[in-house]
Amino acid sequence: MTVYSIERLALIREVEDALYREAELADAHAYDEWLALWTKEVLYWVPCNNDDIDPMRQVSLIYDDRDRLEERLFRLKTKHAHSQNPRSRLIRTVSNICLQDFDAATGGTVTSRFVLGEVRLERQTEWIGRMKHVLVRDNGQFKIREKRVFLVNNDIPMGNLTFVI
Amino acid sequence: MIRYQSHSSATLSGKEIGLLYEGTRVHSRAYTDSTVYEIEMERIFSRGWLYIGHTSEVATPGDFRVRKMGRQPVIMIRGRDDAVRVFMNRCRHRGAAVCEVESGNTKFLRCWYHGWIYDTVGKLVEVTQREAYGPEFNQDAMGLTPATRVEIYRGFVFASLATTGPTLREHLGNAAAMIDLMVEASPIGELAVDAGAHKTVYRGNWKLVGMDGYHPNFVHASVIAAWQRKQDSGMGATHRDDPFDDKAASRTRDLGNGHAMLDLTAQRLAHYEVYTKFLRSVPGGPEYMEAMQKRYGEERAKLLIALAGDPHVGVFPNMQLINNQIRIMNPVAPDETEVIMFPVRLGGVSDAMNAVRIRQHESFYGPAGAGSPDDAEIFERAQRGMMAQVDGWIDLSRGLNREEREPDGSIVGRITDEVPQRGQFKRWREMVSAD
Ligand code: FES
Ligand SMILES: [Fe+2]
């Protein structure tokens, strides 16, 4: 039987909160607040065709460093991102949150799963997948340094993925 | 699912369907009507040359890829004899698909309905419990059915299901030289189509994905705003003066046979210095420029480097070469189309440079890119709008008064002119009207 210390339980809650908060802001298209959850250097990666690809030789759905991520959000905030006008209405549930190699003082890796329902115009789409976050303790808060999203449907034809996944 | 297609009450003949295009306008039923779609499947997608894939996708014997010719499932496979073939993906016994996975390497294709086995050259090598068949059963004649005609141009594999008709070279015509522009972006003249694919789908007719130089400033206004923010970034640099302004030096070209392009040559050459400054900063960039000059000579190399492998050409009916990608358009229904985008890697080029090209592709194309989703969105709006069929003609006359004919027969217009649309519909009309 695994016995969790109060400290461990508190840490798990804190990490869960960090992921829930991110999900909340992403669903709300609150791009500036969402970006504020990240560290200065970032990797936001959504592989394509397979979970296990070499991004230097193969195409990804998203492979953003900070510059590219800022550009992505800048574009979404303009009035002319037609595929987000009207915006997708989103609800995502994050679960199966597991801390891997995680240190309360510095941070570490968290794996999780999500189900995301999207409704836009007359269409309802489900997006499902796994996530892997690297969180680092920064000024007391956990910030996101890396986020990988492994979509179950990353190898079949898909519609627009223009919101924050 | 809500559909955006209509059904004519009276069956239209191919000739009548051809009349939906009148030279300056086309009736929206050409996009929405299911009878039109059926005729297109029969006369364009089962008769004409279709792009299937690239030989580098099946680099070693036994490599295969599952593809579609219109609605028909096919397999492109490299045989043990090293030849690339295209077979119908259908067991000769009772018709099950013999290949379920999208790609792979195999010695044999086994149909799991009753266990028949074919080899990589399509031969039926095993019939389970063979003794149940008499002498009239000719096993040698029961191999996988090959596509009627298969021809390869510089690694691009095309197939046609018609026994007669133009050769691939005749069909490609002026477009062959545009394919060269992509192939020869490699200093060794080789493409590797091995970087995966962006697979997208939109709810609109396949003919909506055309070559249109009129839309970028509207559909892609958000991207242009982002580029203007960073004028020196790779993409920003090549779009410094608006290449899609009516007064721009860029041109539209109808190459004949339905092939059409946005000819960005003048624009790209004008920004050669800015672009190559960026290129030189990429590891392997200076070596690339040198190798290109050595292989193709100074003048041709300059053109090839400036275009960066982007002929921006549509090869009728199902292939486009845009930016760094080969695209396949698969019609699924009158109101549904898949667009599969294969970024290419250039042979004889540094990994760093190919990686930069893949990043540039991702920034604009694919389901999460800055450009493709807005294209798809607008195609869907067009499909929805065209369901309104009172006064259902759409206008394609832009630039008709100022287009010019070149000595090679191609028609040239300003970048915003509807020269490509007219070129594509001209070919479309010929094909749907032919009995
Ligand atoms: S259908 Fe293939 S073995 Fe019977
Ligand atoms: Fe576009």
Written as six digits, the tokens of A139 are 């000024």
B63 Cα to chain A: minimum distance (Å)? 18
**Substitution site in B90, B94, B129 for ligand 1 pocket (most atoms within 8 Å of beta carbon):** B94
B334 cis-preceded (ω within 30 degrees of 0) = no
As a whole number of angstroms, the distance between CA B190 and CA B188 comes to 6
ipTM > 0.90 (yes/no): yes
* Domain positions in chain B: 50-160, 172-433
Per-residue pLDDT of chain B (435 residues; tens, 9 = 90+): 778 888 876 788 999 999 999 999 999 999 999 999 999 999 999 999 999 999 999 999 999 999 999 999 999 999 999 999 999 999 999 999 999 999 999 999 999 999 999 999 999 999 999 999 999 999 999 999 999 999 999 999 999 999 999 999 999 999 999 999 999 999 999 999 999 999 999 999 999 999 999 999 999 999 999 988 876 555 555 566 788 888 889 999 999 999 999 999 999 999 999 999 999 999 999 999 999 999 999 999 999 999 999 999 999 999 999 999 999 999 999 999 999 999 999 999 999 999 999 999 999 999 999 999 999 999 999 999 999 989 999 999 999 999 999 999 999 999 999 999 999 999 999 999 998
| Mutation choice for B interface testing from A53, A63, A160 by most B CBs within 10 A | A160
As a whole number of angstroms, the distance between CA B82 and CA B153 comes to 16
Domain with residues B50-160, CATH architecture:
3-layer Sandwich (2.102)
Token pair 């005729």 in the structure block, residue: B39
As a whole number of angstroms, the distance between CA B432 and CA B435 comes to 8
Q: What backbone torsions phi and psi does residue B312 show, to the nearest 5 degrees? A: 55, 55
- From the list B29, B17, B38, the residue with the least C-alpha distance to B388 is B29
| Cα angle: B424, vertex B365, A36; to 5 degrees | 155
The conformation of residue B132, written as its DSSP 8-state character, comes to: G
Residue B84, class by beta-carbon neighbours within 10 Å (0-12 exposed, 13-18 middle, 19+ buried)? buried
Please answer whether residues B417 and B423 qualify as being in contact, where contact means their C-beta atoms are separated by less than 8 angstroms.
Answer: no
In chain A, the domains with their CATH numbers are 6-151 (3.10.450.50)
Number of helices and strands (H, E) in chain A?
3, 6
Please tell me the pTM assigned to this model: 0.96
Residue A3, class by beta-carbon neighbours within 10 Å (0-12 exposed, 13-18 middle, 19+ buried)? exposed
Decide if domain B172-433 falls under CATH 3.90.380.10.
Answer: yes
Length of chain B: 435
B221 part of contact set with chain A, CB < 8 Å? yes
Ion ligand 2 nearby residues (CB, 5 A): B 375
- From the list B318, B345, B320, the residue with the least C-alpha distance to B329 is B318
SS3 A47: strand
Residues of B in contact with A156 (CB under 8 A): 199
Residues of B in contact with A48 (CB under 8 A): 196-198, 366
User: Amino acid identity of A45?
Assistant: W
As a whole number of angstroms, the distance between CA B302 and CA A153 comes to 41
SS3 B333: strand
Q: What is the pLDDT of residue B1?
A: 73
CB count within 10 Å of CB B205 equals 27
B243 cis-preceded (ω within 30 degrees of 0) = no
User: Amino acid identity of B242?
Assistant: D
Displacement of CA B62 from its chain's centroid (Å): 25
Written as six digits, the tokens of B346 are 């250039």
As a whole number of angstroms, the distance between CA B353 and CA B285 comes to 7
Displacement of CA A101 from its chain's centroid (Å): 19
SS3 B54: strand
Which residue has the least CA distance to atom 4 on ligand 1? B114
B344 part of contact set with chain A, CB < 8 Å? no
Can you spell out the DSSP letters for B204-261? S-GGGS---SSSHHHHTHHHHHHHHH-TTSHHHHHTSS-TTSTTSS-EEEEEETTEEE
User: Amino acid identity of B3?
Assistant: R
Residues of B in contact with A49 (CB under 8 A): 196-197
Residue A150, class by beta-carbon neighbours within 10 Å (0-12 exposed, 13-18 middle, 19+ buried)? middle
As a whole number of angstroms, the distance between CA A165 and CA B11 comes to 46
Can you spell out the DSSP letters for B3-27? ---B--SSPPPHHHHHTTB-SSEEE
Please answer whether residues B203 and B315 qualify as being in contact, where contact means their C-beta atoms are separated by less than 8 angstroms.
Answer: no
B232 part of contact set with chain A, CB < 8 Å? no
The mean pLDDT values, 10 residues at a time, for chain A of 165 residues are 92 98 98 98 98 98 97 96 97 98 97 98 96 96 98 97 97
